[in-house]
């Protein structure tokens, strides 16, 4: 390489000087050359695209083509005084203005006044405004009239990375050319050409890493190449490039993804450790992992992935070999995990842990059963169910005969599902004989009688426990501090219950209300508590029956699930 005191960086040294040297923008070059050859050169051009793709270089080439001393041709000679002055940036007829620092209305007014004069020794006065979107609104307004009807000797060329920020009135007055990102193979080819001119020994793998570092920008790739040469000299090693640029070797990504699909958690976490040891940013690693799995997904999903992916032939072949046995759906599920992890890392204190968790989830992810396979198994289950005993709770049962009015009734015993047994209201006991025998059944008959007469009174009594039932006396206990105790202690409530008790038993009955503490051993269950207990016991019995049924067991096996929810029909 050159040992001159004055070193010119590669991005400037190998800047395109003609349309033929403009890599990756053939659509722009061809259109401009045809316009020049046919004499249809517009008065204003707008070049848009990402940074470092050749917008300003194209503007200079265009200026040289229009002002070349050898005539207006589709390629500048680069030897005449006009071409040399434009290349060096010293031409008095080509003004290259930075829109970021000359964005005021006064700057545009000065420019508008200067372009009235004829060029000093060229055909055209050419105004190149870089980053034109930085001009203020007033500056754009001052430029409008001149831009629409400029003098015949003036050409405008605007360049911007953000065309959406330009007013529509400016866009409508310019011919717009959109510059593409330069593909990785094109950047690699250009870097290889420069490496040969600079007598540098470097592998295609290192050039690929440098090209990817540029992210579609030729200038950024050349800057990274300059940095590599400053570090490595004339002989470049792959390991040095990966360390210097802070990029993950794609072989490591392939190893991690390969271990992931084979379920090797040890190798997956070892790969993360290796990434961390070299000091690589974990979020950037996650992003490269996402890009890697996106490439795998595209390869498995389309017939011609080379038309979509910006990869070399060798990389495509390697990814095809890695993904040929993996379904697109399995790749997509894992890609979703990495996307979620990358979003979480923006606010995380432990980015490595998030990456490790996402990789472990992806490694241990159970394979999905194809939908058609599930449908076939369900159909098989339906066929088998025809020859299988019906579930107990689906059997239609005949309702038990209604109890006679004279017999005690437990209105809260379990009832066969699908059949509702309407409780028969017990007739009041005849006054003759007087007595009012005790027991839970007798208390249940009394509450049922009260419910039939006054639903509000009955709903309170359902939460009471019969502490004592004698002829002429009923003592009822309610949970201390509860709403039901407060309601039962009301004098009007007691009087109404006493009146109904006399009608039920045939004798004058005193009602006593007492508060009982939780866990009071001598207090029987209230009807509400008994109803709840019976329902829970019934559901537990039904669940046991369901879990032991052969059809349910087969469903659990097919869907790989042990959970079951039982409901009465």
pLDDT tens readout for residues 286-343: 998 999 999 999 999 998 888 888 787 888 888 888 888 888 888 999 999 999 999 9
pLDDT level of residue 434 (50, 70, 90 thresholds)? very low
What is the predicted pLDDT for the residue at 402?
A: 43
What is the predicted pLDDT for the residue at 522?
A: 67
Same structural domain, 224 and 159:
no
Q: Is the pLDDT reported for residue 369 higher than 70?
A: no
**Average confidence (pLDDT) over 539-561:** 77
Q: Higher model confidence: residue 66 or residue 380?
A: 66
Residue 48 near residue 133, CB atoms below 8 Å: no
Q: Which residue has the tokens 């490039």?
A: 241
At 146, which CATH number? Answer: 3.40.50.300
CA–CA–CA angle 530, 531, 535 (5° rounding): 115
User: What phi and psi, each to the nearest 5 degrees, are found at residue 235?
Assistant: -120, 120
Is residue 563 assigned to a domain? no
Among residues of the chain, what percentage have pLDDT more than 90?
20
Run of H or E residues at 524: none
The number of distinct structural domains making up the chain is: 4
DSSP assigned state of 454: -
For 249-313, where are the E strands, in sequence order?
A: none
Q: Higher model confidence: residue 155 or residue 488?
A: 155
At 201, which CATH number? Answer: 1.10.8.60
Same structural domain, 140 and 214:
no
Q: Which residue has the tokens 């201390």?
A: 480
pLDDT level of residue 392 (50, 70, 90 thresholds)? very low
What is the predicted pLDDT for the residue at 492?
A: 86
Q: Is the pLDDT reported for residue 106 higher than 90?
A: no
Same structural domain, 27 and 164:
yes
Nearest partner of 293 among 345, 246, 264, 256, judged by Cα: 256
What is the predicted pLDDT for the residue at 5?
A: 58
What is the predicted pLDDT for the residue at 289?
A: 92
State the pairing for strand pair 465-470/473-479.
Answer: antiparallel
Is residue 449 assigned to a domain? yes
Q: Is the pLDDT reported for residue 232 higher than 60?
A: yes
Q: Is the pLDDT reported for residue 423 higher than 60?
A: no
Same structural domain, 38 and 65:
yes
Q: In angstroms, what CA-CA distances link 227 with 10, 203, 233, 239, 475? A: 10, 16, 10, 15, 96
DSSP assigned state of 350: -
Parent domain of 465 = 440-532
Is residue 555 assigned to a domain? no
Rounded CA gap, 152 and 157, in Å? 15
What's the half-sphere exposure (Cβ side, CA atoms, 13 Å) at 105? 5
Average pLDDT, the chain: 81
Q: pTM for the whole thing? A: 0.57
Same structural domain, 206 and 283:
no
pLDDT level of residue 179 (50, 70, 90 thresholds)? very high
Same structural domain, 116 and 197:
no
Same structural domain, 174 and 185:
no
Q: Is the pLDDT reported for residue 435 higher than 70?
A: no
Residue 460 near residue 493, CB atoms below 8 Å: yes
For 146, the 3-state DSSP assignment is helix
């Amino acid at each position: 390489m050159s040992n001159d005191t004055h070193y010119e960086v590669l991005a400037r040294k190998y800047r395109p000087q003609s349309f033929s040297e403009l890599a990756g923008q053939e659509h722009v070059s061809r259109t401009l050359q045809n316009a020049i050859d046919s004499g249809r050169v517009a008065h204003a051009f707008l070049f848009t695209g990402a940074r470092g793709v050749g917008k300003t270089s194209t503007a200079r080439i265009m200026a040289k083509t229009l002002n070349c001393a050898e005539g207006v041709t589709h390629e500048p000679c680069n030897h005449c005084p006009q071409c040399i002055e434009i290349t060096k940036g010293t031409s008095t007829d080509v003004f290259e203005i930075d829109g970021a620092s000359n964005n005021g209305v006064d700057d545009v007014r000065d420019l508008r006044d200067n372009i009235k004069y004829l060029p000093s020794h060229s055909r055209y006065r050419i105004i190149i405004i870089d980053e034109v979107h930085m001009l203020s609104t007033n500056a754009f307004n001052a430029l409008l009239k001149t831009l629409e009807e400029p003098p015949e000797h003036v050409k405008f060329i605007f360049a911007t990375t953000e065309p959406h920020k330009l007013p529509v009135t400016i866009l409508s007055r310019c011919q717009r050319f959109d510059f593409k990102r330069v593909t990785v193979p094109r950047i690699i080819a250009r870097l290889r050409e420069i490496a040969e001119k600079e007598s540098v020994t470097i592998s295609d793998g290192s050039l690929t890493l440098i090209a990817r570092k540029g992210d579609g920008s030729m200038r950024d790739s050349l800057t990274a190449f300059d940095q590599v040469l400053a570090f490595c000299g004339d002989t470049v090693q792959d390991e040095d490039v990966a360390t210097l640029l802070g990029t993950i070797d794609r072989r490591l990504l392939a190893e991690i993804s390969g271990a992931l699909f084979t379920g090797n958690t040890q190798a997956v976490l070892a790969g993360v450790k290796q990434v961390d040891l070299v000091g690589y940013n974990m979020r950037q690693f996650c992003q490269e992992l996402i890009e890697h799995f996106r490439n795998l997904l595209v390869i498995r999903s389309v017939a011609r992935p080379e038309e979509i992916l910006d990869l070399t032939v060798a990389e495509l072949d390697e990814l095809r070999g890695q993904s040929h046995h993996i379904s697109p759906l399995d790749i997509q599920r894992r890609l979703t995990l990495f996307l979620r992890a990358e979003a979480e890392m923006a606010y995380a204190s432990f980015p490595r842990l998030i990456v490790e968790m996402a990789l472990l989830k992806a490694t241990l992810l159970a394979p999905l059963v194809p939908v058609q396979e599930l449908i076939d198994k369900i159909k098989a289950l339906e066929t088998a169910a025809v020859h299988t005993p019906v579930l107990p709770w689906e059997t239609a049962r005949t309702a038990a005969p209604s109890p006679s009015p004279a017999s005690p009734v437990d209105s809260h015993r379990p009832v066969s599902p699908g059949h509702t047994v309407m409780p028969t209201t017990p007739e009041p006991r005849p006054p003759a004989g007087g007595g009012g025998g005790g027991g839970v059944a007798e208390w249940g008959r009394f509450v049922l009688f009260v419910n039939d007469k006054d639903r509000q009174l009955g709903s309170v009594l359902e939460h009471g426990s019969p502490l004592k039932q004698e002829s002429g006396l009923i003592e009822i206990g309610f949970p201390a501090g509860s709403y039901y105790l407060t309601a039962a202690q009301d004098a009007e409530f007691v009087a109404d219950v006493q009146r109904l008790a006399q009608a039920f038993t045939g004798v004058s009955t005193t009602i006593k209300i007492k508060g009982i503490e939780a866990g009071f051993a001598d207090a029987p269950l209230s009807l509400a508590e008994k109803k709840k207990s019976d329902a829970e016991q019934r559901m537990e019995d039904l669940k046991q029956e369901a879990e032991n049924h052969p059809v349910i067991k087969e469903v659990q096996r097919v869907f790989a699930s042990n959970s079951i929810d039982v409901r009465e029909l």
